[in-house]
Structures are given as C-alpha cells and as structure tokens.
Structure 1
Amino acid sequence: MREGTAVSPHASDVFAKIAERAEEIAALGPVNEALGRLDDQAAKILRDVGVIKMLQPAAYGGYESHPREWAEATMAVAAQDGATGWICGIVGVHPWEMAFADPRVQEEIWGEDHEVWVGSPYAPMGVLKPVDGGYEFSGRWQFSSGTDHCDWLFLGALMGDKDGVPLLDPPQLIHVLLPRSDYTIVEDSWDVVGLKGTGSKDIIVEKAFIPDYRTITYTSLVDGSAWRDRGLTNPTYQMPFSAIFPLGITSAVIGMAEGALAHHLAYQKGRVQITGRKVKDDPYVMYAVADAAAEIHASRVTLLDGVSQMYDAVAAGKEYEFGERSLSRRNQVAAAWRAVRAVDEIVARSGGNGMRMDHPLQRFWRDVHMGLTHAIHVPGLVYHASSLSMIDVEAPGYMRPMI
C-alpha cells in the first residue's frame, strides 16, 4: 500500500488471508503447471481469500474495492505463483464489467451463487448474426484463462449483418455473455512455455442463441455510458475500461517479478561462486541485484500511483479523454517491460542451478515473459498514440481500440 493510504476492511481481510495461505499457494505452483490448469485446491484458495470478489458488486456479495487494492492483492498472489496471480488479474476483472450488465444476466449468473466465476477472452473472434430476440453466435477463441473453473464467459464479437458477415465500416465490437452449456472447451489446446498453470484453453461456440440482454457494447465501456446507464456511483465503476482491464494483467506480471526477486535473494544468500567467493561479497552482482530490485519497485509504484491518481480524479468528477488514457496506458506498458527486464538481470546472475526445473526461479522467469506477450503489453501503438497526444496531434482510429 502507498504510505498513508487507508485500506478498506474487505481489502485488509483479503490481504491477511493471502498472507495466511501464501505457502500453500506457492506449493501448488508446480502442481498447476503439471496439470496445465489451476489445481482445484488453488482455485478454492482464491475463493476463500476473496480476490475474485474485490471488484464484484456489493449486491452480489462483492467488495467494490478500490482498484489499487485489487491490484495489490493480485501482486501478492502472483509473487507466490504466477499462474494463480494471473487468474486473479484476468478472472478478477470480469465482476467489474458485470456491474454494467443487464440485471437479468446478473441474476442468471449470481442469483443463486455469488461465487460463480466469469471468464473471457475479449478478442473479437466471433460474429453476432441478428435473429428474432437476439443473435446467433459462432466462433473460436484462444486464451480463455482459468476457463476450467468458470461457469460463464465474456467473449469478444463483431456485429454482423443478416447473413453473418461482419460489419467493418466501422467495426462494432461487442462483449457477449454465455453459459458453460453454450460453448466447448478445447482440451490440450494450451501447450506453452510459461503460465502453463493458467489453463488458458481455446473456446468454440457453434450457433448459440444469445438474447439481446446478454451483450455489452465495447463503446459503452469506453465512453462511460455503461456506468451512467446503470446509475453506478462508486468511482471504481467509473474508471475507463482501458485502465482497469490492463491493470490486473500488469499487476500479475509485476507480482511475478517480485516473486522472482524473492527466490533469487533466498538462493544467493548462501551461494558460493566457482571462484570460491561468496556471492554476497561480489560487488558487481550485488549492484546488479539492487538495481533490478529498484526497477521492480519503480514498476510497482508507477502502476499503483497511476491507478490511484485516476481513481481520485474520477471520484472528483473528471472524465478521461483519449490523450490522457494513452498516457496512462504508456506508463502501464512501461511498468511491465521494466519489471521483466529486471527479472532478466536477476536470472543472468543466478547461476546454472537457478535454471534447474526443480528451482522456482526458472518458472517465474518463464511466466513473467509469457505475461509480457499479452496484447495489452505491446508498446508500439500505445507509445505512438501517447507521443502524438503529447504534441497535440489526434491519433488515428486504428490506434484507439486498446486505449
């Protein structure tokens, strides 16, 4: 937490529970990786500690936490196991968007059980074909993190015409909610080098019927009409989508970097180099470790201060325009890259034993690099748009969807 920052009672309870279960979360890291998904006990721990409910509406048992608190909880979990932290950041953001959903689908999902998880992905890999009362929906998606433990999904879609051909001038991006009975999880579709334990498998939908009320337009999430239409007064729900969605993912990456640093320090404490000198007496290694630790800390502070400042501004009635959002995204992307570069510096000074498969450092190293490949961490268009904003030039449309 930032010095002098108050912590809500719910968040304080979540932090305490994470600390109590930290060793158990860490011990399940290799289990998650071997399974290729989150172990059932790991998922149960997340339900027990309440991270996934931090952004969930209070009407359905959620805590409506400050997004900074959710980010810090995600970091704390990711520092123990990258895959488990990743689920906190990915699955944990969906209750925030559920606050904007039609009350009918809110009741369908949480009416009987407030613990139901909603997965994704948001990439528009499906097409909505208008039919009476709603849409016919088909497509295939990759990267549905934590999907084995979710009973509903948000899936990205393009609006189509009556023949199911996407409308592309301009494209209309839609988030679609559908239950487990309407999609198929493709087993053995998650064979990757890092974050294996997230179980981010493929999803297939074939001609599912989607009622009108189970859709949310992406535009409404960007322009603020989603929260206005629902009359939401908590500033958490008035934050831009482009700030909240990337926040959980980058928080997980920074938490993994903190975990890598912790394992490196524990290993180096008693390590002796081939020359016979103890690592603690090598000024070159100690300098590099301190520098990397400072970079990871700077990443954390940048991300948390950014979301705190935005929250305070939104609470005061400010609306964030595209240019300001682009600067926020620039800082978020930079924080992720800075943290991962620091992990590389740590690993380069860990010796060959740090890369043995029974050493947790190598798993954190792989996981943090896998996390950096997420689309929200690609710097090109974000950096270009933010630079244009700084010189008062309007960014073209193709730069806008991720901002």
Structure 2
Amino acid sequence: MPDLTGLLSAAEAAAEVAARHAATADTDRRLSDEVVETLITAGFARRFVPEHLGGAPVGFTELMESVATVAEGCASAGWVASLMAQGARISGYLPAEGQAEVWAKGPDTLVVVGFVSQGSVRAVDGGWVLSGDWPYVSGIEFSEWALLLADDGDGARFFAVPRPDYGITESWFTLGMRATGSHSLTLDEVFVPAHRSFPRDEMFLGRPAVSREPFHTAPLFAVNGLTFGSPVLGAARGALKLAARTLPARDAARTGFARAAGEIEAATLLLTRVAENADLGLYDDDRVRRASLDSALAVDLLAGAVERVFAEAGTRGQRETQPLNRVWRDVRVAAGHGALRFEPAAMRFTEPLLSA
C-alpha cells in the first residue's frame, strides 16, 4: 500500500474547513473563497501537472482517498477538488506551447472542463474561432482557464480558453451538489491558436502527443469513474457517520445501517481496484471495460447505502436543516452524472461477448 500520510493530512485539513462551510455553501449555491483556497493549498490543482512545470504528481489511489476525505465534510467541495485534478490531467494533452501558456503563472492554476460538445467552430489561419454555450462546467466561478470540447468538422477537439475570453451564465439550480457552481460557459467569436488544442481521441486513448507522464497514458474510461465516483464515496462515508449518531434501537434500523456499511465498504474495494490498476498502468481493453463497470457499480452501491440510512433516519433526520438531508440530496444528484451511469458501462463491458 502507498504511504498516504502527507496527502491525507492535507486533505483532512481541507475537509475540516469544507465541513464548517457546507451548510452555507448549500444555501448560497457556491463554495466560499476560503474553501477554494484551502483546496488549492492542499494541492489538488497541481496533482496532475507535469513535474517540469511545477506539478506534484501523485497516484490515482492517493487522489481517490484525498478527494473522498474532503467530500466527507462537503460533497460539493470534494467534487470541485476532484475536478481541479481532472482539469490539470486533461490539460497535459495540450502541445508543449499550450501547456506552458496554461501554467505560466504556476501549477496551481485552476482549469475547468466543458465535456459536453457544444458551440460552433470555424477554422481560420493559425487556429479556430469558437462561439456558443457549454453547460455543466463545474467550478467555473473560480477558474482561470477552460478546456472546451467542440467539433471542428474533422472530429472532436478540446480547446483551451483563458478566463478573460469567456463569460458565465448562471444555470445550475439543482436538488443537490448546489455549491459545485456547474454553470454554463459562453464564448462569442473567440480565437484559439493551434497550440491550445488537441484531438479528443488522444485523451480517450491515453496517447498524448507530447507528455510522457504516466497519468497521461491512462485511457479516459480507465479513470473517469474515479473522478466522479470518489466524491460520492466520501459523501456516503459522511452519511454513515451522521446516521450512526442517531441510530434507532429497533432491529430494522440497525440491520439497514449494517447493510449500508457493508455496501460502502464493497464500493470502496471496487474503486480501489480501479485506482490501483491505473497506478500500475494496467490499461488493457478488458481492465478498462472493467474499470468503467466497477466505478458505475460502486456508485450504485453508494447511492443505495445513503438511501437506506436516510430512510431509516425518520422525520428527525430528514429535516431540511439536518446535514443528512443535504448529503442525501448531494448523492442523488452526483450519482446521476453521465460518467457514472451503469447501462453504458454494461454495454461496453458486454460488447466483446456479442462479437466473439
């Protein structure tokens, strides 16, 4: 097992701050500046920045546990922490000149990602011109750069755009995960030079044109479930701790609690296997399909566990002012993310069986 002491210590400090602000963040639909600064100080933004640009690379197992630790205190903060690391990892697929530009001010630069292919792209001399709206860009309020997916006619590409070039439209009004700030990004005729773009398939396949960092050779589906599943893991652990404080004495409640505890532990083992295989660079097709399936199954287990303890909490635990209510809402919303849906993962997993 890797030594997680230093990393988890930073994550625990961030979790304490996030937990203090969790209720207000939910009400305000925004993480406080203090929480964001604490996440940066903990090093989430620099986790997957190349070392020669000042990064502090760590393994996927370490990142999974540190994100989950923060999410125990506040699911939205854990989500943003995880997306900070993801933004850095995906930025590493840019050409060398683009990487240098994104991290010109240092490795703690916050990069957000618009994964929904949107907008219009027009090829011009030296690059492209982009316009349009990109929804669900988590952490956009604090971002300094954005990576946006769009199709230029020859295939899907990511385009890196600095903060002065894009606007924000408030569009994130949800049951839970309210403080992730997953609003829409808007562009109006913005020029993106060629060195600030790369083909989407490089990221999907884990075949960067420039970077040779181990974490850039991970195909998307080998690790994407960890990005979005780790915050759900932390939130579920937090829900179990909250439920334990007021566990009813009746047998049904105790049985439900024990089952939820087992489901959370089973989900932890599934996600840990995904992370450890990624750390070992085991990216054969079978393991990549299994990683996607394991991540989706783990989140199904976590969502079921939280649903179970919330139902057993009764009226007192379900009051709007109770932390368990907030965690339940957060997990319901997070578990519905497209990257965590079980059916697409199951289709990828079973495809070889149909073609055999």
What is the TM-score with the length of structure 1 in the denominator?
0.84
**Matched residue type, 1:308:** E
Between the aligned partners of 1:173 and 1:26, the Cα distance in structure 2 is 39
User: In 2 relative to 1, CA 31–128 (structure 1 residues): closer, same or farther, beyond 3 Å?
Assistant: same
In angstroms, what is the RMSD of aligned CA positions? 1.7
Aligned-partner SS, 2:48: coil
Match of 1:356 among 319, 342, 347: 319
- For residues 66 and 23 of structure 1, what CA distance do their matches in structure 2 show? 23
Once the two structures are superposed, the pairs formed by residues 4-403 of structure 1 within 5 Å of their partners are: 5-7=1-3, 11-160=4-153, 172-187=155-170, 189-226=171-208, 229-232=209-212, 234-268=213-247, 279-280=248-249, 282-312=250-280, 314=281, 319-321=283-285, 323-389=286-352, 391=353, 393=355
Corresponding residue SS for 1:79 = helix
Amino acid at match of 2:109: V
Query: Kindly, what percent of the aligned residue pairs are identical?
Result: 24
CA contact (8 A) 2:98 2:196 kept: yes
Q: 2-side partners of 1:113 and 1:52: how far apart?
A: 10
Partner of 1:380, secondary structure, is helix
Rg comparison, structure with higher value: 1
Partner-residue secondary structure (3-state), 2:330: helix
Instruction: Give the letter aligned to residue 393 of structure 1.
Output: S
> Cα distance 1:337–1:30, how it changes in 2: closer, same or farther (>3 A)?
same
Q: How many residues align?
A: 356
3-state SS in 1 of match to 2:186: strand
Tell me, in whole angstroms, the C-alpha distance in 2 between the residues paired with 1:22 and 1:151: 23
Deviation at 1:46, TM superposition (A): 0.4
| Preserved CA contact (<8 Å) 2:45 2:107 | no
| Per-residue deviation, 1:63 | 1.5
Give, in whole Å, the separation in 2 of the partners of 1:346 and 1:131: 56
Letter in 1 for 2:355: V
Q: Give the letter for the 1:198 counterpart.
A: T
State which drifts further: 282-291 or 49-58.
Answer: 49-58
Gaps in structure 1 of 5+ consecutive residues: 161-166, 269-278, 395-403
2:93–2:202 Cα contact (<8 Å) kept: no
CA distance in 1, matches of 2:205, 2:228: 22
**Separation in structure 2 between the aligned mates of residue 157 and residue 375 of structure 1, nearest angstrom:** 18
